[in-house]
Amino acid sequence: MPLAIVVAISFAQAAETIPPYAFTWDWSANYLLLAQDPLYLEAFGQSLLISANTALICLAIGYPMALAIARSRRPNLLLLLVILPFWTGFLLRITAWIGLLRDQGWINACLEWLGLIEAPLHLLYTQGAMYAGLVYAYMPFMVLPLYARLSRLDPNLAEAAADLGASPWAVFRRVIWPHSRPGVVAGMLLVFIPTTGEYVIPELLGGPGAETIGRVLWTEFFDNHDWPMAATVALALILLLLPATAYVWRRP
């Protein structure tokens, strides 16, 4: 029902009424504007790029973590450390990064104390700060499905391959990686899908150049009070992510 309401509002036009929209015969105007305006197209493109980069960074960091947890003697303790940040509020965790990255924050203070820098580095409100927040927030969504797959791998298979003369790289490429591939796909999608519409992290940590679709959606709804256009953008985002969502849904 909420989705049906969003679809209906997307075919309306903004108006000086309460609620601020009215239905007209020009039902396709919002979708034509969405397809032609560079603002929306660039926002969608930038959001997809940021999501893909975040998923790849999480994979590069999370795969060794998941493999180490699967091979450790105390996997439950290490898994607890991975999900421990979820015990605090999402907004509080992201706000803590502001204290770390600001010009008078802990990172700059440590670097100055070590004598590595003379003036504070501008770390906050940059692309790097935004990616740091995204990777930090969504890393468990990569580690957990990878661990679920790697923990099922029989260690005797890797030992047998090594006994038959396979190098460590060959063992990884021929034994470990094929077994973990479903976890890789699941982790990539579980990170990619929510980060595409992320608003809080780009708003709090990213610079003005990080004009993601989440920030555009917020602007249309709360600043411009253009509910029909905001509904159109939201529906387009849902349709854009629908193939990936369907793939996750059909996974066993």
The answer to whether domain 37-211 has CATH 1.10.3720.10 is yes
User: What does each C-alpha distance from 201 to 139, 170, 238 come to in angstroms?
Assistant: 14, 39, 20
Task: Read off the pLDDT band of 158 (50, 70, 90).
Answer: confident
d(C-alpha 92, C-alpha 86), whole Å: 11
Other CB atoms within 10 A of residue 116 CB: 9
* Tokens 């077994």 belong to residue: 179
Is pLDDT at 248 greater than 70 in this prediction? no
Token pair in block for residue 145: 């499905």
The predicted pLDDT at position 165 comes to 85
State both tokens at 195: 């980060």
Which H or E run contains 119?
none
Return the H-helix or E-strand segment holding 25: none
Looking at residue 88, what is its pLDDT? Answer: 85
203-218 as b/e: b if 16+ CB within 10 A: ebbbeeebbbbbbbbb
Task: Band the pLDDT of 63: cuts 50, 70, 90.
Answer: very high
Distances (CA, A) of 66 to 44, 79, 145, 148: 31, 9, 9, 9
Helix (H, G, I), strand (E, B) or coil at 88: coil
pLDDT at 249 (0 to 100): 61
- When comparing pLDDT for 249 and 197, which is higher? 197
Question: Where in the chain are the domains?
Answer: 37-211
State the residue for tokens 């059909």: 250
Q: What is the pLDDT, as a whole number, of residue 190?
A: 92
At 196 the pLDDT is: 93
Q: Examine the pLDDT at 247 and tell me if it is beyond 70.
A: no
Query: Given pLDDT bands bounded at 50, 70 and 90, which one contains residue 216?
Result: very high
Distance CA 137, CA 198 (A): 11
Please provide the average confidence, as pLDDT, over all residues in the chain: 89
